[in-house]
Chain A
Amino acid sequence: MTAAPSNAASAPAVAPDWFAKKHRRGNLIVNPFVPWVMVGLPVAVLVAIVVYPTIWMAYHAFHDTNMMSLFSGNWTFVGWQNFATVLGDDRFLSSVKNLIRYLLFGACLQVVLGVALALILYECIKNNTVRIVLLILLVLPMMLPPSIVGVLWKFLLQADNGGFNHLLINLQLLPANQRIDWLGTRLSLWSITLVDVWQWTALPLLIVYSGRVSLPPAIYEAARVDGASRWLVLRRITLPMLKEVIAIAFIIRFMDAYKFVDHVSVMTQGGPSESSELPVYIAFQKGIREFQVGEAAAQAWLIFAVAAVLITLFLKYMKRVLKAQAIA
């Protein structure tokens, strides 16, 4: 029984031979092949249904593919022309402006509202049953098919006999003889935003509420013993601990919002006269209805690239600031 020759007081000055030559031996538990197969299956599927379209779209973005050439197969390489066309297109640019407004007053507002409502629900209502019932009611809009929500609001927002206008009239918020033309040119985008807020505020609400529920009560008891005011507790304890959750809710909403066309498709079809068009919707129209595949591909890629960059930047920022475990 020999003891190792090292002096325990200091680390070995030179790394021993075996350590220098050491390579990753893996583990004894599974054949290293197995985990890669396990991951490989879904990856293969995703490659087929996502990577293939991505490459396809990237390819055609540089070609003049349109209705005729698509099926005959003779499309010509046009370099950046599609992108130039898209960026120079007023219609596209105004849709980008629409998108910015939509995201700002939609996704951002939803997160703010969701946080506020979640915290109000949690802090101000102590009866658990009431809380659960209210939570269910508040989260209902999220459960509904977006297309149906679109249809529903189209019905409600009709100018003449739509329920929404008449609700406002009954609440004395609108003079009896006036009707707001929600789906008209001026307001169509805001109506879409309104519907988006109606339906999706529930998601940040649910996420933040879940996060709040799972915060450790010990801290709050300590704060109470210390005599901190509720406002202070909110500002200094609750919100900082929920930072991560709120950021995630924001990312999820943002990731979904910019590519979402169900409401626009169903309610306004981008109209009237393109007033409520969003970039992805235009790409969709161009690709599927007009078969201007080259342009559509360029548009889709532009949108996706910008969004991906923004999201990645935000994630890196989040990772750094919160020092949290990465989403991946």
Chain B
Amino acid sequence: MSQSNYRLIKTLLLIFLGIWLVFTLFPLYFMIITSLKPVEEINRMIPTFWPHTLKLSNYAGIFADPGSLKSLADSVIVSVANTALSLLLGTLAGYALARWIRGAAGENLAFWILSNRMFPPVAVIIPMFFLFDSMPWGTDSYFSLIVLYLVFNLPLATWLMMVFFRDAPRELEEAAYLDGFTPLRAFFRVTLPLVFPGMISVAMLCWIFAWNEYLFANLLTGTTVKTFPVHIPTFTLGSQSLWNLIMAFSLVAMLPPVILFIILRRYMVRGLSLGVVKG
């Protein structure tokens, strides 16, 4: 291929990439400017692409509003608790499946665990709604969300941790056994440090799914527990949505996953590539 041909194609491809980038970022850009506009400007017939007046007080309002703060806190509680639980159970099962439960039984079991992720949450929620309703803790509780989010996070955590454990060389554990370490000590001393980057990416993935979850939260909770995806649509004045507040709050709620991703992206890329390429 000639140089100029190649250059031409490369340019076209980069333009394509550029277009996609604009497409991706435009809504976010609009979101940011909307969050900075006063309500009147938003409701104009022809929207402005650059705010005519800046109203930072939209943001201040959020932090002053106890409802908003509580929703963020609730989200934190539910997502962190669920991530910890998913990771703990997933690591246990993943390790057992990677090292000891071999053969047909092991493969089938692992596959069944993963297949639970295929299950529509909608199908889970109908029975669980009625079930939890009749339980002492009710549907509107931290417990119900923390437990129900395991439906999609636990299979994911188990599967990924299993792959990571499979990648950790067995011989190192065997060397530790010969050194005199019991399996438990060997696990913490040798295996865990090896899979640690993987664990971080698993934790991050689970946390993001839990943080962003809307359906279960919307159906089951709303008063005692109100995570932010449920809280946001309540920014209305009569029948009018207060878009500026909605956008502002959304941006605030979006920050943690984005920041986490930026900081931990290397782990995530490595984790995903290890888990996906090998698994």
| B121 contacts across to A, CB distance below 8 A | 259
When distances are taken between beta carbons in the complex, the residues of chain A under 8 Å from B126 are: 53, 57, 284, 287-288, 293, 296-297, 300
Q: A125-B14, A229-B1 are in contact. List 19 more A-B contacts (CB 8 A).
A: A39-B93, A39-B96, A41-B89, A42-B90, A46-B155, A53-B125, A116-B16, A120-B16, A124-B13, A138-B20, A147-B229, A162-B47, A166-B46, A214-B274, A259-B119, A265-B215, A287-B122, A307-B118, A308-B118
B128 x A53 contact (CB < 8 A):
yes
**Per-residue contact bits, chain B 98-125, to A (CB 8 Å; 1 contact, 0 not):** 0111000001111101111111111111
Could you say which residues of chain A place their CB within 8 Å of the CB of B120? 258-259, 280, 283, 300, 303-304
With CB as the reference atom, state the residue of chain B lying closest to A60. B127
A161 near B43 with CB under 8 A, answer yes
**Closest A residue to B116 using CB positions:** A50
User: Which chain A positions have C-beta within 8 A of B45?
Assistant: 160-161
Report the count of interface residues on B (CB-CB < 8 A). 101
| Pairwise interchain contact A49-B124, C-beta atoms closer than 8 A | yes
- Residue of A with least CB distance to B148: A49
Residues in B neighbouring A152, C-beta threshold 8 A: 27, 31, 247, 250
Contact of B6 among A151, A230, A261 (CB under 8 A): A230
Q: Using Cβ atoms and an 8 Å threshold, which residues of chain A touch B151?
A: 46, 49-50
Tally A residues with Cβ within 8 Å of B.
Answer: 98
B-contacting residues, A251-310, CB 8 Å: 255, 258-259, 261-262, 265-266, 280-281, 283-284, 287-288, 293, 296-297, 300-301, 303-304, 307-308
Q: Are B101 and A35 neighbours in the complex by a CB distance under 8 Å? A: yes
Q: Is the CB of B110 within 8 A of A328?
A: yes
The CA of A35 and the CA of B34, in the complex, are separated in Å by 54
Complex alpha-carbon distance, A151 and B20, angstroms: 21
Cα of A230 to Cα of B7 in the assembled complex, Å: 12
Which residues between 124 and 157 of chain A lie within 8 Å of chain B, taking CB atoms? Answer: 124-125, 132, 134-141, 143-148, 151-153, 155-156
For residue A178, which residues in chain B have a CB less than 8 angstroms away from its CB?
none
> Quick check: which of B52-60, B65-73, B206-214 contacts chain A, the rest being far away?
B206-214
A9 to chain B, nearest CB (A): 32
Known contacts A52-B127, A153-B27, A304-B123; A134/B276 CB under 8 A: no
| Interface residue from A143, A206, A211, A287 paired with B254 (Cβ < 8 Å) | A143
Is B272 an interface position by the 8 A CB rule? yes
B46 CB to closest chain A CB (Å) equals: 6
The answer to whether B273 and A210 have CB atoms under 8 Å apart is yes
**Are A245 and B278 also in contact (CB < 8 A) when A148-B232, A148-B250, A255-B117 are?**
no
Chain A nearest CB, measured from B157 CB (Å): 8
Is there contact, CB below 8 Å, between B208 and A143?
Answer: yes
CB atoms of A39 and B261 under 8 A apart: no
Query: CA A135 – CA B254 in complex, angstroms?
Result: 17
A50 with B124, Cβ < 8 A, contacts A136-B265, A143-B208 known:
yes
- Asked if A248 is at the interface (CB within 8 A of a chain B CB), the reply is yes
Q: Which residues of A contact B128 (CB under 8 A)?
A: 49, 53
CB-defined contacts of A30 to chain B, threshold 8 Å: 100, 183
A259–B122 touching, CB < 8 Å: yes
B158 is an interface residue with CB less than 8 A from chain A: yes
Which residues of B are found within 8 Å of A144, using beta-carbon distances? 212, 250, 254, 257
- Say yes or no: B258 contacts A143, CB within 8 Å: yes
> Can you give 8 A-B contacts (C-beta < 8 A)?
A42-B92, A57-B126, A124-B13, A146-B214, A151-B232, A162-B47, A229-B1, A259-B121
Are the CB atoms of A38 and B96 closer together than 8 Å? yes
| Interface bits B120-158 vs A (CB < 8 Å: 1, else 0) | 111111111111000000000000000110110011001
